[in-house]
Amino acid sequence: MIYRNSLLANHVTWTVDDTSGAADIARDFLRAECQILRLAGVAHNTIDDLEKFLRAVATAPIEVYRSAAGELLVRAELAREDLLITGKTAEVLRAYIDRALVRTEDRLDMTLRRAVGL
């Protein structure tokens, strides 16, 4: 799941992800995810927060943070925006950042979960 400016993120200990290109990979992933969700016919309110975040950080630098539990936080300090990414979505994005294999089934499962609201 993806949560915009969630207070839950304040209760997690985050470590900066210093993987080369992590911010660019996260930004590209989020743009693509927005397009996929549109194509999947997901409710507009589900996509709205992601689109608002992407517009707000379009020219702002972002950083990626990781929690010990595997969640990701994509933050743009200058824009005062962040996305808390959990579950299968975090798992898939972590794999992209780590340049690990991402199975098509995992990617599809992530999108389908968003489409049906799981």
Q: What is the pLDDT of residues 17-49, one digit of tens each?
A: 999 999 999 999 999 999 988 888 877 777 899
Alpha helices by DSSP H, listed for 8-103, are: 22-39, 44-56, 87-97
Residue 92: which residues within 8 A CB-CB, separation 6 or more? 29, 102, 106, 107, 110
- Domain map (residue ranges) of the chain: 2-116
pLDDT at 65: 99
Reference 37, options 100, 112, 89; nearest CA is 112
Q: Can you tell me whether residue 49 is helix, strand or coil?
A: helix
Confidence of residue 118 (pLDDT cuts 50, 70, 90): very low
Dump pLDDT digits (tens) for 74-111: 999 999 999 999 998 999 999 999 999 876 665 555 55
Rounded to an integer, the average pLDDT of 11-21 is: 97
- Dist. CA 118–CA 66, nearest whole Å: 23
pLDDT at 38: 86
pLDDT at 107: 58
pLDDT at 86: 95
